[in-house]
Amino acid sequence: MAKRSVREVLDQAGSLAFPGIYDPLSAIIAEQAGFPLGFISGYSLAASSIGEPDFGLLTQTEVVEQARKICASVSIPVIVDADTGYGNPLNVYRTVKLLIDAGAAGCFLEDQVWPKKCGHMRNKKVISREDYLQKIRAAVDARKGTDFFIVARTDAEAVHGLGEALARVKEACELGADASFVEAPGSVDQLREIGQQAPKPLVANMIEGGKTPVLPKEQLAALGFDLILYPLTGLFAASHALRNFYSYLHENGTTLGIESDLFRFSEFNELIGVEEKYRLAEKYGE
């Protein structure tokens, strides 16, 4: 059965809070938790796959191949953080084609100078508005004949102010982008202005400890936001748990005393579908 499109998910859910994922296991857990949509976070992908910050260090090939594995592991649609498209409009065109082939349901495409930085980090730079709009044109052309969902993201607020950021996403959506995303507003007042002026559907990026206030879904929906993304929650939670459990094991030489907070072997096997593989193997005489 074909996966639903992002637009179909939004039409059914209205405003939706959904998580960042970064490997097949985190994607499977997100789907089993009941989320109808996932997002491959570039920050999480850089941290988990190469142990580096989100400074534009991952290549197009690395992102696409990880996206292919993640999209194949779940039945929910997945949006991919495509950064700047990894070059000029021709690179953007190829990136979108590759992501569609990898099974992605959509992508974020931003206007930073490459190599980019996480939107909540300092010293960001952006390309000109016209250069960014050419990238949007290329992405829209590349996805023709598909329901690939393009989110126009701008980091221009930090460089040129909110007015320029709003102008960029408005023009991007006029060219065919499906949603808008003004990254890293620093106050509720800015969120309110974005919610009033930016094209819908509209992304709110909730990073715990980041520049933007983390607000409840209901409040963000009332402000005008539709796609309420928690891109780093899974990464932060998993990393916090690993550090705590590894520290305990190192200090005590055992997991006795904390084993009740771990998955049981049988529980984890159920999570990753071990019995299904046994049944399939038996079908073929294994």
Report pLDDT for 285.
Answer: 87
In this predicted structure, what is the pLDDT of residue 2? 78
Q: 177 and 120 in one domain?
A: yes
Range(s) of the domain holding residue 262: 239-283
Same domain, 164 and 279: no
In this structure, the answer to whether residues 136 and 264 fall within a common structural domain is no
Give yes or no: residues 70 and 198 share one domain: yes
250 and 166, same domain (yes or no): no
Q: Are residues 226 and 244 in the same domain?
A: no
Q: Do residues 269 and 157 both lie within one domain? A: no
- Report if residue 225 sits inside a domain: yes
Q: How many domains does the chain have?
A: 2
Inter-CA distances, 281 with 154, 202, 204, 266, 276, Å: 49, 46, 45, 19, 9
Answer for the pair 205, 175: CB distance below 8 angstroms, yes or no. no
Q: Is cis: bond before 201, omega within 30 of 0?
A: yes
My answer on whether omega of the bond before 199 falls inside 30° of 0, hence cis, is: no
- 1 in any annotated domain: no
Q: Taking the complete model, does pTM exceed 0.75, yes or no?
A: yes
Domain match, 59 and 166 both: yes
Residues 218 and 253 in one domain: no
22 near 234, Cβ under 8 Å?
yes
Q: Are residues 222 and 269 in the same domain?
A: no
Residue 173, in any domain of the structure? yes
Q: Of the residues 191, 208, 232, which one is the last residue of a structural domain?
A: 232
My answer on whether 116 and 246 are in the same domain is no
* pLDDT < 50 positions in the chain: none
Question: pLDDT at position 1, please?
Answer: 63
